[in-house]
Amino acid sequence: MPIGLRAEGLRKVYTSPPPLAAAGRGFGMAFRRRPKQDYQVTALDGLALEVAPGEIFGLLGPNGAGKSTTVGVLTTRIRPTAGRAWIGEHEVWKERVAVKRLIGVVPQRPNLDHALTAREILTFHGAYFGLPAEERERRARELLDRFQLTDRADRLVLGFSGGMLQRLSIARALMHSPKVLFLDEPSAGLDPQTRLLLWDLIRRDNESGTTILLTTHNMEEADALCNRVAIVDHGKLIALGTPAELKSSIPGGYVVRLHFAGEPPEALLTTLRKLPGVTEVRAPGPAAVDLYADRGGPLIPEIARLSDDARAEIRDVKISEPSLENLFLHHTGRSLRD
């Protein structure tokens, strides 16, 4: 039976810099008395989520949106400042051990045990979760095979490529057959081929009943994998729905970007605004114009005619179909890659 998860009013305020920013610092070596720095970052600001059993759920947002903090809170690694979360029926902060049994976690940066070989990483992980010796050997063999790591199984992971590390991380997370799998930026830094393989593995695992929550700033990934997507920014939920719903929710989901030879006359912009189906016209640069519209191609002849009439020469036309990228832009005024 697949299980779901939910979270209510999650807030997390960091009062000290994150470990990476403070890398290598232990004792402060303060010879002079420095004023205590006021460090306060609100990573999560009242986030609520509900992921249905058996779903692939995506958290989409730019860097620093609070995605990893959300995963940290849901996986017992970060204590929320306020709010509660449940994995199935278990409250995360109160029943940590029970929760840890149910979840598998693939971190953003591989954290594989460097002192062990790939196979040992899997078998020891199985042992931590109390699998009997025979079963963990069998399962490790199976997963190594499925993740195409068999030929490297008995080597230390030190020399593994990024893709191999990532695959092994996922294999490890699956060793104890978790009910809910968390993947934090699973395909960051992977080549397109490895990414496709990864998506396939994630889908197959989902089909066998695992609920999956993944974070990404790649909307193509969210689109390809997720049943539902939550868009987060500054620790808040901005939009939620299936990729198709979300895309159709933008007024005029299409964006037609025109590049002119020179600055187009103001009158042209006014007439373009009056075209049927066009909801908004913006000029992001001196020679560029963005039309937000409910259609793409069919508008082109009319645009070409109007431009011709206004003696503005079109150099380039780019039509982008409704996408999560456009949606994010629409909701936040920022691009995902900003």
Partner 1 sequence: MNVKTFLAMLRRDAHVARRNFVTLLLQTLFQPMLLVFVFGKVMTTSGLIQPEYKGMLLPGIIALAMLLSGVWSVAMPLVSEFQFTKEIEDRLLSPIDTDWVAVEKVVAGMLQAIAAGLVVLPTAWLVMGSGVGLSFRQPFDLLALVLLVSCLAAAIGLSLGTSVGQTQIGLMFSLVIAPMIFFGCAYYPWSSLARFPVLQKVVLVNPMVYATEGFRAALVPRFPHLPKRAIYGGLVLFDLLFLAFGLRQFRRKAVG
Q: Which residues bind partner 1 (CB under 8 A)?
A: 14, 19, 23-27, 72, 75-79, 96-98, 100-101, 103, 105, 107, 109, 111-116, 120, 124-125, 127-130, 172
Give the Cα separation of 241 and 248 in Å (integer). Answer: 10
Nearer to partner 1, 32 or 114 (CB): 114
Shortest separation between residue 100's beta carbon and partner 1, angstroms: 5
Q: Which is nearer to partner 1, 83 or 277 (CB)?
A: 83
Length of the chain: 338
CB of 23 to partner 1, least distance (A): 7
Cβ closer to partner 1: 31 or 284?
Answer: 31
Q: How far is the CB of 143 from partner 1 (least distance, A)?
A: 15
CB nearer to partner 1: give 103 or 281: 103
Minimum gap (Å) between residue 121 Cβ and partner 1: 8
Nearest residue (CB) to partner 1, 111 versus 242: 111
Smallest separation (angstroms) from partner 1 to the CB of 175: 11
Q: Name the minimum Å distance from CB 114 to partner 1.
A: 6
For residue 152, the minimal CB distance to partner 1 (Å) is: 17
Is the CB of 50 or the CB of 137 nearer to partner 1? 137
